[in-house]
Structure 1
Amino acid sequence: MEKEQLEKEISKLKTLLMENLTVNLGVTAVDDHDYNRTKILFENIVEKDVNDYCLKMGYNIKFRFIIKNNKGLSGIALNNTQEFKEMGINIIIGHPSSTHCYVSMEYVNKNNMLLFSSSAQSSQLARKGDNLLRMHPNDAYQGHVIAEMLSSRGVRAIIVIELESLWADGIYKILEDIFLKKGGIVLERVKYNLELTDFSSHLARIEDIAVDAVRRYGREHVNIVLLSYEEGIKIVKQAKDFSTLYSLYWFGSDSTARFLAYTSEASEELTHLKIFSPLPEPTKSQFYFSLNQSYYALTHEPLDFDTASKYDIAWILARAILKSKTTDVKRLLEVIPEVASMNFGASGWCKLDENGDRETANYGIYGYEYVNGTATYKNYGVYDGTLGRVFWIEFPSS
Structure 2
Amino acid sequence: MSKPLAPKIAYTLMIILLIIGIVAGYGIGALTAPAKVVTKTLTSTVTTTVTAAAGATATVTKTVTQMKTVTTTVTAAAPAAPGLKGEIPIGVLLPLTGVLSSYGENDKVTLELAAKEINDWLAARGEAWRIKLYIEDTATDPKTALDKIQALHGRGVKIFIGPMSSAEVSEVKSYADANKLLVISQSSTSPALAIPGDFILRFCPTDVAQGPAIAKVMWERGIRWVVPLWRGDTWGDGLKEFTVKAFEEICKASGE
| In 2: Cα distance, 1:174 partner to 1:59 partner | 52
The TM-score normalised by the length of structure 1 is: 0.36
| In 1: Cα distance, 2:152 partner to 2:136 partner | 9
Contact 2:215 2:244 in 1 (8 A): no
- For the structure 1 residues 142 and 72, does the alpha-carbon distance in structure 2 shift closer, same or farther, using more than 3 Å as the test? closer
Deviation of 1:41 (Å): 3.5
Higher helix share: 1
Amino acid across the alignment from 2:240: A
Does residue 22 (structure 1) correspond to residue 94 (structure 2)? The answer is no
Determine helix, strand or coil for the equivalent of 1:92: strand
1:68 to 117, 133, 136: 136
Matches within 5 A, 1:109-128: 109-128=177-196
2:240 to 148, 168, 174: 168
- Work out the percentage of aligned pairs sharing the same amino acid: 24
Deviations 1:77-121 (A, max 9, x none): 111111111111111101012211111111110010011112222
Deviations 1:204-256 (A, max 9, x none): xxxxxxxxx4xxxxxxxxxxxxxxxxxxxxxxxxxxxxxxxxxxxxxxxxxxx
Deviations 1:155-178 (A, max 9, x none): 8x955554695432223445667x
Structure 1 residues not aligned, in runs of 5+: 1-11, 188-212, 214-398
Deviations 1:12-65 (A, max 9, x none): 99x94333232110001113345655444433x121111223344554431111
| In 1: Cα distance, 2:120 partner to 2:247 partner | 44
Contact 1:25 1:91 in 2 (8 A): yes
Deviation of 1:145 (Å): 2.3
- For the structure 1 residues 150 and 103, does the alpha-carbon distance in structure 2 shift closer, same or farther, using more than 3 Å as the test? closer
Deviation of 1:135 (Å): 1.7
| In 2: Cα distance, 1:161 partner to 1:186 partner | 20
Contact 2:162 2:186 in 1 (8 A): yes
Instruction: Work out which of the two has the higher radius of gyration on C-alpha atoms and give 1 or 2.
Output: 2
Amino acid across the alignment from 1:21: G
The TM-score normalised by the length of structure 2 is: 0.54
CA-atom RMSD, angstroms? 3.4
Partner of 2:24: none
Partner of 1:142: 210
- For the structure 1 residues 58 and 121, does the alpha-carbon distance in structure 2 shift closer, same or farther, using more than 3 Å as the test? same
Determine helix, strand or coil for the equivalent of 2:88: strand
Contact 2:84 2:129 in 1 (8 A): yes
Deviation of 1:123 (Å): 2.6
Determine helix, strand or coil for the equivalent of 2:180: coil
Deviation of 1:146 (Å): 3.5
| In 2: Cα distance, 1:49 partner to 1:24 partner | 16
Amino acid across the alignment from 1:47: A
Partner of 2:159: 91
Contact 1:123 1:140 in 2 (8 A): yes
| In 2: Cα distance, 1:100 partner to 1:46 partner | 24
2:146 to 78, 85, 92: 78
| In 1: Cα distance, 2:227 partner to 2:253 partner | 15
| In 1: Cα distance, 2:148 partner to 2:81 partner | 28
Determine helix, strand or coil for the equivalent of 1:95: coil
- For the structure 1 residues 65 and 172, does the alpha-carbon distance in structure 2 shift closer, same or farther, using more than 3 Å as the test? same
Amino acid across the alignment from 1:135: F
Partner of 1:53: 121
2:96 to 31, 42, 47: 31
Deviations 1:264-305 (A, max 9, x none): xxxxxxxxxxxxxxxxxxxxxxxxxxxxxxxxxxxxxxxxxx
Count of residue pairs brought into register by the alignment: 169
Structure 2 residues not aligned, in runs of 5+: 1-29, 32-79, 231-236
Amino acid across the alignment from 1:110: A
Deviations 1:103-149 (A, max 9, x none): 11111100100111122222322222221111222223223423654
